[in-house]
Amino acid sequence: MIKVNLLAVSVGNTRTRLGAFVEGDLVETATYVNGREAKLCDAMSHAFQQLRDREDTVVLMSSVNSDAEEHIEELVKENLSRDVVRLERDITIPIGRQLDPEAIVGEDRLLNAAAAYDVLKQSCVIVDAGTAITVDFVDGSGTFHGGAIAPGAQTQLDSLARRTAQLPETFIEKPVEAIGHNTIEAMRAGVFYGLRGMVHELVEKFAEETGQYPLVVATGGDSQLLYRNYELVDRVVPNLTLSGIAVTLRKHLEQEAEA
């Protein structure tokens, strides 16, 4: 198996994540809010230090944010003096797809699927809990079928505060108990247990419709908060998207070596 040297750049809706892989091992990660250029540039330079002298190092970028991606690509070129390889433009994410012909799927969802299937080699559901929450199904042959998209935890709380007269602004935290004895705890309980219940219902429906009972993997910024120690979820993998970028590069290099 080829061991990649890689700076993975994942541009999300709200944040950009970096991952430095040395000989296939993830040695450093960093996450920064989009728009904070100075901090992002410093983080890129720091993460790249362990890779700078490795001639085979690749800078590989994925994006689900068209407004930010071109600017961040230019920042990478300027600060690291390296060309950027773009997923789905230069390298295809290695996951089968069974989708409607006109469907456009976020690269992060495909990367999560590729990374999960690369390890599990069986049907699985990937829950990515961030600004939005996605619940996607991959079958036992490694084909991505899509799934469901809903507002993430903080997005739901923000919407409640904006669209009601009396509900306050608050941040997502694990509720003290299911019965909220004040407004904020009631809001947190509704969102927290609502998102758990949604995933449970979707996993059951996916299994019923496909005849495959999948393993469930959670990732994303809120995955630890929402799904750690939840009996439905088999594992929480915070860096799944970055691992998907590494899997994509490794398989691309292996195909080139075989050609």
Q: What topology does CATH give the domain 6-86?
A: Nucleotidyltransferase; domain 5 (3.30.420)
Helix (H) or strand (E) holding 193: helix 183-210
H or E element, residue 33? strand 25-33
CA distance 19 to 113: 18
CATH number, domain 109-242: 3.30.420.40
**pLDDT at 146 (0 to 100):** 97
pLDDT band at 40 (very low <50, low <70, confident <90, very high): confident
- How many other C-beta atoms lie within 10 A of the C-beta of residue 244? 31
**Residue 235: band (very low, low, confident or very high) from pLDDT cuts 50, 70, 90:** very high
pLDDT at 38: 82
Q: Which residue has the tokens 């994303």?
A: 220
Pick from 125, 151, 155: which is nearest to 140 by CA? 125
Per-residue pLDDT, averaged over 163-180, amounts to: 96
Pick the closest to residue 128 from 35, 205, 241, 251 (CA basis): 241
> Is-same-fold flag (6-86; 109-242)?
yes
Indicate the SS3 state at residue 86. strand
Using DSSP's 3-state secondary structure scheme, residue 121 falls into coil
Q: In 3-state terms, what secondary structure has residue 14?
A: coil
Quote the CA–CA distance of 199 and 126 in Å, as a whole number.
10
- Tell me: pLDDT of 66 over 90: no
Which are the catalytic amino acids? 108
pTM (two decimals)? 0.93
For residues 136 and 106, give the distance between their C-alpha atoms in angstroms, rounded to a whole number: 12
Interacting residues of 194 by C-beta distance below 8 A, sequence separation 6+: 156
The residues spanned by each domain of the chain are 6-86, 109-242
Per-residue pLDDT band for 33 (boundaries 50, 70, 90) equals: confident
**pLDDT per residue over 112-124, tens digit each?**
999 999 999 999 9
Question: pLDDT confidence of 21, banded at 50, 70, 90?
Answer: very high
Average pLDDT of span 128-145: 96
Q: What is the mean pLDDT of the chain?
A: 94
Q: Is 119 exposed, middle or buried (0-12, 13-18, 19+ CB in 10 A)?
A: middle
